[in-house]
Amino acid sequence: MTPNTAGATKTTLTDLVLPSETNPLNNLFGGELLARMDRAASISARRHSRRFVVTASVNHVAFNRAIPLGSVVTVEAKVSRAFKSSMEVYIDVWTEDRESGLKTKANEAIYTFVAVDETGRPIPVPEIIPETKIEKLRYEGALRRKELSLVLAGKMKPNEATELKALFLNDK
């Protein structure tokens, strides 16, 4: 299996916030943003693995800034690390100022996807090569985030989460 750079998996979705997608305060409804992020992230995971992919877990979402009605929202997803059959996908969300065109970071999230065959069974994926400083940082942290997600899901015992434990012991 040929590895891919993280950059090669980049997926960008740009769209408006319409009235049907807002909450009573006229900001983008959280569930709508989750769906947009899921779509972009699944395309990244598919670009990397060239397989069917399913969302296994939403590991982290930070709704740092409300996104008002009418905003132009850009969702950018990249596979940060691939394991055996699973892939961590990092998603950055930006809004764009109408007059200046300047982009402001609004939210971020981390999803886990698994590549599966036609019967839904997990299958191996190629490795990811991080290139930029931020890609390397996200790659390095991905194993402990995978362990945390598995511990929270009851799929790993805390004492088996060696990378996660090292984070606390070494105060990394």
Ligand X SMILES: CC(C)(COP(=O)(O)OP(=O)(O)OC[C@H]1O[C@@H](n2cnc3c(N)ncnc32)[C@H](O)[C@@H]1OP(=O)(O)O)[C@@H](O)C(=O)NCCC(=O)NCCS
Residue ranges that bind ligand X, judged by CB under 6 A: 54-57, 83-86, 112, 114, 116, 120, 122, 146, 149-150, 153, 155
Q: Closest by alpha carbon to 67, among 37, 114, 33, 101? A: 33
Give Cβ neighbours of residue 45 (< 8 Å, ≥ 6 apart): 9, 53, 79, 87, 89, 113, 115
Q: How far is the CB of 88 from ligand X (least distance, A)?
A: 8
The Cα–Cα gap between 76 and 37 comes to: 8
Q: Which residue is nearest to ligand X (CB)?
A: 83
Beta carbon nearer to ligand X, 54 or 137: 54
The Cα–Cα gap between 38 and 142 comes to: 18
Q: How far is the CB of 149 from ligand X (least distance, A)?
A: 3
Beta carbon nearer to ligand X, 7 or 122: 122
Q: How far is the CB of 27 from ligand X (least distance, A)?
A: 24
Beta carbon nearer to ligand X, 68 or 124: 124
Burial class of residue 20 (count of CB atoms within 10 Å of its CB; 0-12, 13-18, 19+): exposed
Q: How far is the CB of 54 from ligand X (least distance, A)?
A: 4
Amino acid, single-letter form, for residue 63: F
Beta carbon nearer to ligand X, 97 or 127: 127
Beta carbon nearer to ligand X, 40 or 67: 40
How does 138-163 read in b/e, with b if 16+ C-beta sit within 10 Å? bbebbbbbbbbbbbeeeebeeeebeb
Q: How far is the CB of 146 from ligand X (least distance, A)?
A: 5
